[in-house]
């Protein structure tokens, strides 16, 4: 079980690195084809096309630098569930830095290549 949790956390860390670099194709390597994301202010995101469009919009806003602090982890068969607080800074093209914090619940499951991928995710704003 610990190996699955470590692998899931590595996928999330990879996601952080790709987002920080503004690498949309890299971000997408960690997304399951059946991804569903629930976050405030946008319609439910279903599938990789919706996720790609949403994330492209996020990356166009500036440089994202964030990390995930884990409060919970659970393994349910091949599914790994992580929860906690993601916090960081969005720096816009004019250099304005805005802190943010989101409570998160992320579920990862193996994709066709056998690697864990982000399958379900939900985010809710928190106080930075």
Q: Is 72 helix (H, G, I), strand (E, B) or coil?
A: strand
* Residue in 65, 59, 66, 55 with CA at minimum distance from that of residue 104: 66
Q: Is 111 helix (H, G, I), strand (E, B) or coil?
A: coil
3: pLDDT confidence band, cut at 50, 70 and 90? very high
Q: pTM of the predicted model, to two decimals?
A: 0.93
Q: Which residues contact 99 (CB under 8 A, 6 or more apart)?
A: 87, 88, 89, 128
Please tell me the predicted confidence (pLDDT) of residue 37.
Answer: 97
Given a cut of 80, whether residue 104 has pLDDT beyond it is: yes
Give the CATH number of the domain where residue 80 resides.
Answer: 3.10.450.50
Given a cut of 70, whether residue 128 has pLDDT beyond it is: no
Give CA angle at 57 (13, 118), nearest 5°: 35
Residue recorded with tokens 């439910």: 44
Establish how many alpha carbons lie within 13 A of residue 25's alpha carbon, considering only the half-sphere containing its beta carbon.
0
Gap between the terminal Cα atoms of the chain: 31
Domain total of the chain: 1
Q: Is 29 helix (H, G, I), strand (E, B) or coil?
A: coil
Please tell me the predicted confidence (pLDDT) of residue 2.
Answer: 86
15: pLDDT confidence band, cut at 50, 70 and 90? very high
Sheet holding 79-91, edge to edge: 45-46, 31-39, 116-125, 97-110, 79-91, 63-76
pLDDT tens for 24-71 read 999 999 999 999 999 988 999 999 999 999 999 999 999 999 999 999
The chain-wide mean pLDDT, for the chain, equals 96
Structural domain of residue 107, as residue ranges? 2-125
């Amino acid at each position: 079980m610990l190996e699955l949790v470590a692998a899931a956390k590595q996928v999330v860390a990879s996601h952080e690195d790709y987002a920080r670099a503004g690498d949309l194709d890299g971000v997408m390597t960690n997304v399951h084809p059946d991804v569903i994301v629930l976050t405030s202010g946008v319609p439910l995101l279903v599938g990789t096309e919706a996720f790609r469009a949403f994330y492209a919009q996020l990356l166009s806003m500036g440089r994202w630098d964030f990390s995930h602090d884990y409060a919970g982890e659970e393994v349910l068969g091949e599914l790994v569930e992580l929860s906690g607080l993601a916090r960081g800074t969005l720096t816009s093209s004019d250099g304005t830095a805005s802190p943010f914090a989101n409570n998160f619940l992320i579920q990862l499951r193996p994709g066709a290549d056998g690697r864990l991928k982000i399958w379900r995710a939900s985010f809710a704003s928190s106080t930075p």
